[in-house]
């Protein structure tokens, strides 16, 4: 449903909703609630509404603050439950506090959830069914034309909010809960939420571009199955503390930290259980301030796609544990695309990691992989690369390693194995190469990847000759540094450009 469809639905239901609010306005609230006189307060969904109800919760706007407080005792409308909201997310919204035409709401800079006491002395919270946490503050997300009406909100206090789990696990979702709150700087009470039955946190904080830290350490996310784009495009985020309670149900971490450009610390990354994960596509893509990552506890035995996983991590100097990745199931195929969601296999996996100097991927099994496009493109400091376990299916038309080594201008030691084939447009730097520990023969880059057979020359394990175009397995090194030139025999130098998931 797009924005136009939403507006039409909203107008169609205007009379019904307005009449319900008019009835609710006659209710007398407890003195402690300090609401506006119900005889004068606006209760319709007009552009200037400043108060209303949502199920068993009353809301008002005061000094640019949206305040939601539970209705208790006699103030609870007939058929409603004290404190229980009826917000149902972005696409079926009739609650007045999410009216896209309300200019007063659009001016709010703070949102507060309060508690109230009933006559029995019990504390009543604003209670939200778990299925309604989905899109709680976001409105239109199919086309991203308008993610939220709360564009001016800088602070949210969740201390008076509880999330009530549904009996149906699929309904327990926090998808896009805070998505698009581009001025949000302060998020209080997040650690008090019970998310123990939530199964989906995808895009939960997407485009919260001014948040500098997120602490989830006290939350229980043990049932979550989807964390894709959870922190995507949080461009000011410097620190993330992940939950201590994480289960093994997550199947996708796709673009989880995409474009967190200032992120320098991920506490609890070692606790991520990736044993059932199938998709690590673009997980850390364009985390431009990260200098090191420890992925030594990652179980990648079921992962099918690692495309763009570290792409654009320009300051990354060390990836601890990368050499132990199990890549036997990586097999994603398809057509190369500029869209981050279309990265496949190993495409762009380390592209733009300009501070990495050495990678040892000798144990990786790539027998099922067909996409190696731009895998190391623009790794300008990479001097040593061991891919001796790589199989690039020489002679097949389905495999591409185009620009695989493009602009690897410092590469001086390259170890290859028995099943490696150079793509004719692989972009390997122009240089004179020789086998490590020998003086002769010497091959030019053109010779190495020249037309050795009908499918472009390849690194041939079976070769016994030292001809100019056939090389036996082992480590190639630069023979004469005076003869090397930047670029390659493929498409030359270049950089990768961030794309939007």
List, in sequence order, the alpha helices (H) in 44-203. 103-106, 130-133
pLDDT given at position 104: 92
Interval 23-37 mean pLDDT = 37
pLDDT value at residue 363: 96
Q: At what angle do helices 3-12 and 14-25 cross, to 10 degrees?
A: 60
Q: What is the mean pLDDT of residues 276-303?
A: 97
Higher pLDDT, 156 or 433: 156
Burial classification of residue 4, based on how many CB atoms lie within 10 Å of its CB (0-12 exposed, 13-18 middle, 19 or more buried):
exposed
Least trusted range by pLDDT, from 143-157, 386-400, 421-435: 386-400
Q: Are strands 432-435 and 474-478 parallel, antiparallel or unpaired?
A: antiparallel
> Of 193-197, 262-266, 453-457, which range is least confident?
453-457
pLDDT above 70 (res 487)? no
Produce one character per residue of 418-447: b if its CB has 16 or more CB atoms within 10 Å, e if not: ebbbbbbbbbbbbbbbbbeeeeebbbbbeb
Helices and strands (H and E) in the chain: how many: 5, 22
pLDDT, mean of residues 452-458: 34
If 0-12 CB within 10 Å is exposed, 13-18 middle and 19+ buried, where does residue 208 land?
buried
The chain-wide mean pLDDT, for the chain, equals 81
The reported pLDDT for the residue numbered 47 is 55
pLDDT digits (tens, 9 = 90+) for 227-262: 999 999 999 999 999 999 999 999 999 999 999 999
Whole-number Å distance between alpha carbons of 13 and 93: 10
- Output the pLDDT for position 18: 35
Residue 12: is its pLDDT beyond 50? no
Higher pLDDT, 464 or 217: 217
Among 243-247, 305-309, 330-334, 357-361, name the one with the lowest average pLDDT. 330-334
| pLDDT score at 476 | 87
Mean pLDDT to the nearest integer, 7-12: 36
pLDDT digits (tens, 9 = 90+) for 106-157: 999 999 999 999 999 999 999 988 777 888 887 654 555 567 889 999 999 9
Q: Is 21 helix (H, G, I), strand (E, B) or coil?
A: helix
135-144, 292-301, 425-434, 437-446 — most confident range? 292-301
Above pLDDT 70, what percent of the chain? 73
- The pLDDT value given to residue 455: 33
pLDDT greater than 50 at residue 466: no
| pLDDT tens column, 47-65 | 578 999 999 999 999 999 9
Asked if pLDDT for residue 456 goes beyond 70, the answer is no
Give the least confident one: 34-48, 207-221, 273-287, 338-352: 34-48
pLDDT of residue 344: 87
If one compares 479 and 40, the residue with the highest pLDDT of the two is: 479
Q: What pLDDT, on a 0 to 100 scale, did the predictor assign at position 462?
A: 40
Would you place residue 71 in the very low, low, confident or very high pLDDT band (cuts 50, 70, 90)? very high
Q: What is the pLDDT of residue 447?
A: 80
Higher pLDDT, 392 or 73: 73
| Better-scored residue on pLDDT, 364 or 424 | 364
CA distances from 240 to 153, 213, 260, 265, 492 (A): 21, 6, 10, 6, 38
Q: Pick the range with the lowest mean pLDDT from 21-25, 69-73, 221-225.
A: 21-25
DSSP string, 314-347: TT--EEETGGG---TT----S---SSGGG--TTT
Model confidence at 481: pLDDT above 90: no
Cβ atoms within 10 Å, residue 76: 22
Q: What integer pLDDT is reported at residue 292 of this predicted model?
A: 97
Sorting pLDDT into bands at 50, 70 and 90, what band is 501? low
């Amino acid at each position: 449903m797009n924005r136009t469809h939403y507006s039409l639905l909203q107008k169609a239901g205007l009379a019904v909703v307005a009449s319900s609010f008019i009835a609710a306005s006659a209710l007398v609230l407890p003195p402690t609630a300090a609401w506006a006189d119900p005889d004068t307060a606006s209760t319709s969904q007009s552009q200037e509404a400043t108060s209303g109800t949502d199920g068993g919760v009353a809301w008002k706007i005061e000094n640019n603050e949206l305040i939601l407080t539970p209705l208790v005792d006699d103030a609870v409308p007939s058929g409603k439950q004290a404190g229980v909201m009826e917000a149902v997310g972005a696409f079926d919204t009739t609650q007045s506090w999410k009216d896209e035409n309300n200019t007063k709401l659009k001016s709010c800079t703070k949102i507060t959830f309060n508690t109230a006491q009933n006559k029995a002395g019990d504390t009543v919270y604003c209670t939200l069914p778990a299925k309604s946490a989905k899109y709680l503050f976001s409105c239109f997300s199919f086309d991203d034309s308008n993610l939220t009406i709360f564009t001016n909100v800088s602070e949210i206090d969740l201390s008076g909010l509880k999330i009530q789990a549904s009996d149906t696990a699929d309904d327990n979702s926090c998808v896009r809960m805070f998505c698009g709150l581009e001025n949000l700087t302060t998020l209080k009470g997040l650690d008090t939420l019970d998310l123990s039955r939530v199964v989906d946190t995808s895009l939960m904080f997407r485009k919260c571009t001014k948040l500098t830290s997120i602490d989830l350490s006290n939350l229980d996310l043990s049932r979550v199955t989807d964390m894709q784009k959870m922190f995507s495009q949080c461009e000011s985020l410097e620190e993330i503390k992940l939950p201590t309670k994480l289960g093994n149900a997550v199947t996708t971490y796709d673009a989880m930290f995409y474009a967190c450009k200032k992120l320098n610390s991920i506490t609890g990354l070692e606790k991520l259980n990736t044993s059932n994960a199938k998709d690590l596509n673009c997980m850390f893509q364009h985390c431009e301030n990260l200098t090191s990552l420890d992925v030594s506890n990652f179980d990648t035995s079921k992962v099918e796609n690692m495309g763009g996983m570290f792409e654009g991590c320009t300051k990354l100097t060390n990836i601890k544990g990368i050499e132990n990745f199990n890549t036997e199931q990586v097999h994603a195929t398809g057509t190369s695309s500029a869209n981050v969601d279309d990265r496949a296999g190993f495409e762009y996996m380390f592209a733009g990691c300009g501070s990495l100097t050495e990678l040892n991927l000798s144990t990786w099994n790539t027998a099922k992989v067909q996409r190696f496009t731009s895998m190391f493109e623009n790794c300008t400091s990479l001097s040593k690369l061991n891919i001796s376990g790589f199989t690039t299916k020489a002679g097949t038309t389905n495999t591409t390693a185009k620009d695989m080594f493009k602009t690897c201008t410092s590469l001086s030691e390259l170890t290859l194995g028995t099943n490696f084939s150079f793509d004719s447009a692989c972009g390997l730097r122009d240089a004179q190469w020789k086998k490590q520990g020998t003086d002769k023969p010497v091959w030019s880059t053109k010779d190495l990847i020249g037309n050795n057979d009908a499918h472009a020359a390849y690194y041939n394990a079976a070769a016994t000759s030292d001809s100019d175009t056939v090389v036996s397995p082992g480590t190639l090194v630069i023979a004469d540094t005076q003869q090397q030139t930047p670029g390659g025999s493929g498409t030359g130098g270049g950089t990768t450009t961030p794309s939007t998931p």
